[in-house]
Amino acid sequence: MATREKGSADQPTERRTTRKRAARASERAAQKQASDVARRNRELDKVTVKLIQETATEVRSEIHRGKKPDLFFPIRSLGNVSYSQKRGYFEIGKQKKTRTLTVNTVRNFAQTLRMMGLSKNLVESNDFATKRDAYYQSKNWEEAKFDEQPESDTVMDDIEAMFSVQGVSREQLRFLPDESYNGAVAGQLVVLDPDRETGEVEHIDCTRFGSGAYSIPSSVEQISFETEARFILAIETGGVFQRLQSHKFWRTASCILVSMGGVPARACRRFIRKLSDDCKLPVYAFVDCDPYGISNIYRTLKVGSGNAAHLSQFFCVPQARYLGVTPSDIRDYDLPTHPLQDVDVKRAKDALKNDPFFKTHKPWQKAIEDLLRMGVRAEQQALAKWGLNYVIEEYLPRKLAEPEKFLP
Amino acid sequence: MATREKGSADQPTERRTTRKRAARASERAAQKQASDVARRNRELDKVTVKLIQETATEVRSEIHRGKKPDLFFPIRSLGNVSYSQKRGYFEIGKQKKTRTLTVNTVRNFAQTLRMMGLSKNLVESNDFATKRDAYYQSKNWEEAKFDEQPESDTVMDDIEAMFSVQGVSREQLRFLPDESYNGAVAGQLVVLDPDRETGEVEHIDCTRFGSGAYSIPSSVEQISFETEARFILAIETGGVFQRLQSHKFWRTASCILVSMGGVPARACRRFIRKLSDDCKLPVYAFVDCDPYGISNIYRTLKVGSGNAAHLSQFFCVPQARYLGVTPSDIRDYDLPTHPLQDVDVKRAKDALKNDPFFKTHKPWQKAIEDLLRMGVRAEQQALAKWGLNYVIEEYLPRKLAEPEKFLP
């Protein structure tokens, strides 16, 4: 009797204590991870502010010495981009343009310095500005105000490119895109996001969004991750994402689903890159089999885009591999197709002829030539011909059994 | 000593018990709410299946009687739309087109019946199909397959319009849009979403997403809400949403933020409508002050769109009011502007002349005429001229103090 009482009283307590201890340990680990990220970011903030100050100080000294100060910006164009398979992304080349302070350039020069000053203020107040915010902020810069947003966008891009050479990203400068959609996430992932003011860490469990999902914020520099997933599946269309999410494909496949919504926004690419880097997870892309899906969506995700190569080192996902839909899937799965339009053919031929990424990878050249020979394209939802959930029950499991066959 | 021990041992237990009891009560309330929604949806499912069966049975009986069966569809065009201030949304009129089964129409007639059959299967298996899914499904319908997606979209729209007259929405037919972005949510709201298979209810707390947000799913029929917020703020741009979310404006203002990302997708509008109806919350729209923000984004949110009037009864938000940016804000806040383009002027004049909504509301006519006289437009981020967080610290609090002044 005594034993039984003891058992029924103590065992639950013990179990509770063990559970509590485990929860506390996990909480401590999460807090530590978040504070490591916060410390690293504070160090990066110092570097950023220091670089801004040094650049500005140099300009001032030149002026005091009676000289005309210069600023140097990498040229942002496809002609100044290189791709090395080893690095895995588009790199900006060594060509630079020089902006010297003269009577003609004084306004633009002043604007550049004001924009750098805005960045410094943002870092110091832990705030951010979108491109549009920055344009309107300038309306209070008197003579240095911008007349149109494209002007301020160019100055911002130049500053980003200038500092990117020293390893500082746009996010560290606290400049964010204006995009509304940065992608959605569901699956076996906990996002750790510390509060801007208190530092208290939110645990965002991406298995707990019902039929909805986690919407990626404009900047992901402060977040870290906990996951036991096996891979990340980056999906082109909202329709396929919603199907996989509603049927909890992430549970059976032990993975993380990311909805890119077409060409992935920068924050979406940065999120996938950070998640893959931090948690050593492979990234598989699942997009339409057409020149747009291959050479715009997948290529941008993996190696970056030509006219923003200064951002690629931070934003692209060199470890991404192409799961499908492949040209040979069209045959193997007898998919309904549409004929290639002129614009598709042009895009495919451009990729073969001019794109350093496709020129480097033989299997891609073969695949694109194959597609051009067939003269057709297929959407990822074409698999629905065989049943709405064929993609979940047949296609993805078969594909995922042989990741070594994915295109590079 | 005994008292102290009793105190320190029992009080926490009591408190724990009270807390547990409160948690259990809240959990029971949530479960009840979710199961009420589930029961209502099961009843709607029965109605939907019955309507499909009756329509199909009628067709069969006609054929057996040796007659040519007819199907009647409301005409989906601006000419067959009316707006009554009392109902508060665009209503589809009484004009109908008849599709009679003949040698010429047999394929389209068969496709319509197959599409209705697909809907019945989806309701019965608790699954869904996007427009694109449905198109590809048809590839296995032999003679009844569609050659191009626009054909299947039209048949689907016709079926939606036909059943909408009997109060059945597209979501009840289990047809979903293909859109990737259905809006994002942050703030004082718990979304209750029961699992598709187990019925277990997820509590999605929209105050706990750090700098991220809740991404609205393609269909929101199954969800319900818990909230103590005072209003819903529907925001046009991702930039402003991210600012309000990062600075937790929803906490100080006690509200729910919804990012529409331009013209709100159907699921986004349905979400706002359901939330506002279920929780009796006012909806305030915060968009750019230009003819597009006013007559496309706000008008679509509030009363629906002309060519999908059969959906308005489910999707529009007649209770929405226009917080800003108003033409008079441009003067009152001395905002930076852009000149109106020809397309803006045309859109504004069209609204005044042809749009039943604007023709009904005098204050809107005045506001649009005012804007045309000024000849300029202003973006919501123009407020950043006065400081990046002016929108949070000054503009919104001032506006929200006088909601009776909002445009209708």
Check residue B7 and give its pLDDT: 43
Query: A66 to chain B, minimum CA–CA distance in Å?
Result: 34
Query: A184 to chain B, minimum CA–CA distance in Å?
Result: 7
Among A127, A140, A242, whose Cβ lies nearest the Cβ of B218?
A: A242
Query: What is the token pair recorded at A329?
Result: 């899937």
Q: Do A193 and B181 touch (CB under 8 A)?
A: no
Check residue B6 and give its pLDDT: 42
Q: Which of B276, B263, B269 is nearest to B189 (CA)?
A: B276
Q: A120: part of which helix (H) or strand (E)? A: helix A106-125
- CA gap A123, A127 in Å, rounded: 7
- Chain A contact probe: residue of B33, B41, B114, B136 with most A CBs at under 10 A: B136
The residue written with tokens 């506006």 in the block is B399
- CA gap B86, B81 in Å, rounded: 15
Q: Do B336 and A245 touch (CB under 8 A)?
A: no
Is the model more confident about B163 or about B397?
B397
Q: Measured between alpha carbons, how far is residue B356 from residues A142, A380, B2, B164, B407 in Å?
A: 44, 41, 78, 21, 16
- CA gap A315, A268 in Å, rounded: 9
- Catalytic residue (choose from A83, A89, A135, A136): A136
Which residues in chain A have Cβ-Cβ distances shorter than 8 Å to B206?
Answer: none
**Phi-psi group of B50: left, alpha or beta (phi > 0 → left; psi -120 to 50 → alpha; rest → beta):** alpha
Task: Detail the DSSP E strand segments found in A198-350.
Answer: 201-205, 213-215, 224-226, 231-235, 255-259, 283-286, 320-324, 338-339
Query: Dihedrals φ, ψ of A211, to 5°?
Result: -85, -5
The residue written with tokens 């529009």 in the block is B316
Residue B280, pLDDT above cutoff 70 = yes
Query: A295 to chain B, minimum CA–CA distance in Å?
Result: 20
Query: What is the token pair recorded at A260?
Result: 């890119």
For the segment A171-201, what is each residue's pLDDT rounded down to a tens digit? 899 999 888 899 999 999 999 999 888 888 9
Q: What is the mean pLDDT of residues A53-72?
A: 92
Least confident among A6-15, A216-225, A381-390, B71-80: A6-15
Q: Do A239 and B176 touch (CB under 8 A)?
A: yes
Which residues in chain B have Cβ-Cβ distances shorter than 8 Å to A127?
Answer: 388-389
Q: What is the mean pLDDT of residues A358-374?
A: 95
DSSP labels for B146-211? -SSHHHHHHHHHHHHHHHHTTT--TTTTTEE---S---EEEES-EEEEE-TTT-PEEEEETT-STT
- CA gap A221, A374 in Å, rounded: 43
- Chain A contact probe: residue of B133, B149, B248 with most A CBs at under 10 A: B133
- pLDDT grade for B345, boundaries at 50, 70 and 90: very high
Please say if B136 is a catalytic residue.
yes
DSSP B82: E
Q: A130: part of which helix (H) or strand (E)? A: strand A129-130
Residue B390, pLDDT above cutoff 90 = yes
Q: Do B217 and A204 touch (CB under 8 A)?
A: no
DSSP A263: S
Check residue B3 and give its pLDDT: 41
Among B178, B261, B388, whose Cβ lies nearest the Cβ of A129?
A: B388
Check residue A11 and give its pLDDT: 56
Q: Which of A303, A286, A315 is nearest to A403 (CA)?
A: A286
Query: B235 to chain A, minimum CA–CA distance in Å?
Result: 10
Query: What is the token pair recorded at B87?
Result: 């109902």
- CA gap B219, B202 in Å, rounded: 16
